[in-house]
Amino acid sequence: MPRLNVATQSQDLWRQGQRVEVTIDDLTDSGDGVGRVEQRVVFVADTVPGDRVEVRLTHVKPQYAHGKLERILQASPHRIRPSCIVADKCGGCQWLHIDYRYQLEAKRHQIVQALERIGGFEQPPVDPVLAVADVLGYRNKSTYPLARSATGQVQAGYYQKGSHQLINLNQCPIQDARLNPLLAEVKQDMQDQGWAIYDEEQHRGRMRHLSLRIGRRTGEMLLTLVAKERSVSGIEEQAQEWLRRYPSLVGVCLNYNPDRTNAIFGAETRCVAGKPYLREEFAGLQFRVQATTFFQIHTEQTEAFLQSVMDELKLQGQEVLVDAYCGIGTLTLPLAQHVQRAIGLEVQPEAVEQARQNAGLNDISNVTFQAGTVEALLPALDVIPDIVVLDPPRKGCDKGVLDTLLQIKPERIVYISCKPATLARDLKILCANGDYRLTRVQPADFFPQTAHIECAAFLVREDA
């Protein structure tokens, strides 16, 4: 039998189902390991740079493939034993098997790479990542899809990696431990009630998601059920029972989502029992946080991050500050205490109303909130701001927002981002013609055990 030449061997090693040995040398933004087989890239979940692994190729393209980890031949020095028994199945976390120090290095590397490759910045000024003290038990909110097992039991958990197969959980090591009893027991209550569980393939059934939220400082909890229908038989009585059973539970809500969609929450939420909000203390202020309100997952780290922003800005009390994409005023209100005037812009009217209520709760009168898109509101302001804080969603800023900033030219811009790629794209536009200079980027780890990273990029107008 003739020997295979190199080209034939390469082709033989590059087909679906083939097993190959790979040394992992990098991580993607989504958290997968990256290795190479004869110059072709292989992406492998649950691996760490430094691992030598055996991989079964699952999706093969001419220049890259995705593979499933079959066996660890030599473990990376950064590999640790996961603190969760379903870490190899559950898609909630990507990095429970990576030591925390290396997680921080990898997250900073994400930002540097994006700024260099997408933004065109040479040696971008990226500080070390602001670390957290507690890498487990930090989440103040968890939302779980619901399903039924083959034996008919109500399940709640996260989807298995790369699938819509639910991994049933009775506790989660990264959520606030005070929420764990509710996760286990509420499922049984739904089972006893006989409520129909939603089937996403058939678009049938009623109960879609279970959402749990807690005020880290106050201990107050909210329980929210997402349903395909507005009414659920027996929910009022069950909600009262939950309030009696859990002294820290202050409200039970029902969110209505009838659409065939991946979005978790619908537009309607009603309070079934108790209050429609919990109280939280943040940066020395009082906040009311509702069931579907956006509020950063890691309360303590958000405070530390806010302090790093304030330290960099060195506010003197005479500034006019605009907080674009302000939500319920989480950052606007603490910053307003140190400037002459603050303006919050937010597209969701419900969030604007909550922001105004939170300003009233704290007797902060030098702040106003406006509802509408940032691209429409920013150019229509009656003042040229000294500082603009941008905190857009993952897709980044609308081009109209960037164009307006380049026209009104505030002295300083703080761009807060949860996605390095869109941050780099937008900073490139702001700095392209020498209008602004990137002076510093401060990353902060809001999501330990995952590949997600938050950061603040500080821009100064060149002629300031």
Total-model pTM? 0.92
**Domain range summary for the chain, segments of one domain joined by +:** 6-74, 103-133+298-461, 141-282
Alpha-carbon dihedral sign for residues 191, 176, 278, 446: negative
Q: Over pLDDT 90: what percentage of the chain?
A: 88
Residue 4 has pLDDT above 60, yes or no: no
Which tens digit of pLDDT belongs to each residue from 406-434? Answer: 999 999 999 999 999 999 999 999 999 99
Mean pLDDT calculated for residue range 399-407: 96
Which tens digit of pLDDT belongs to each residue from 234-247? Answer: 999 999 999 999 99
Residue 345 has pLDDT above 60, yes or no: yes
pLDDT on residue 384: 94
User: Catalytic annotation on 418?
Assistant: yes
CATH ID of 141-282, from 1.20.1290.10, 2.40.50.1070, 3.40.220.10, 3.30.300.10: 2.40.50.1070
CATH topology of domain 6-74: OB fold (Dihydrolipoamide Acetyltransferase, E2P) (2.40.50)
State the CB neighbour count (10 A cutoff) for residue 218.
16
pLDDT on residue 5: 38
Residue 13's pLDDT band, with cuts at 50, 70 and 90, is: confident
The answer to whether 251 and 260 have CB atoms below 8 angstroms apart is no
Residue 11 has pLDDT above 70, yes or no: no
Q: Pairing state of beta strands 285-290 and 412-417?
A: unpaired
The answer to whether 291 and 255 have CB atoms below 8 angstroms apart is yes
Given the residues 326, 418, 431, 455, select the one marked as catalytic: 418
Question: In CATH, which superfamily holds the domain spanning 103-133+298-461?
Answer: Vaccinia Virus protein VP39 (3.40.50.150)
**Mean residue pLDDT across the chain:** 94
On the question of a common fold for 6-74 and 141-282, the answer reads yes
Q: Sheet containing 207-214: give its strands across.
A: 166-168, 154-159, 141-148, 207-214, 221-227, 249-256, 268-274
